[in-house]
Amino acid sequence: MLIRSADLTGKFSVKDVLLMYSRVFMKDDGRREIMSEVSASAEKLDKMLGTNLFPK
């Protein structure tokens, strides 16, 4: 599990991580994909977990 391997079990639960990630979404209008704004906390968590879900 990513949370355990990143030694973040004391800071975040699975529910916390899912809630942060659920606020980011992709929208496809047929021509392009648009990602909603990624919060700083979600970006920081992404780096701590090493998932790299939000490329720049």
Predicted local confidence at residue 54, as pLDDT:
85
**Domain boundaries, given as residue ranges, for the chain:** 2-48
Secondary structure (3-state) at 2: helix
Predicted local confidence at residue 1, as pLDDT:
78
Predicted local confidence at residue 20, as pLDDT:
92
Radius of gyration of the chain (CA): 13
If one counts every other C-beta atom within 10 angstroms of the C-beta of residue 37, the result is 7
pLDDT in tens, 1-56: 789 999 999 999 999 999 999 998 889 999 998 888 899 999 999 999 999 888 77
DSSP symbols for 15-35: HHHHHHHHT--EEE-SS-EEE
Among 20, 16, 13, smallest CA distance to 43 is for: 20
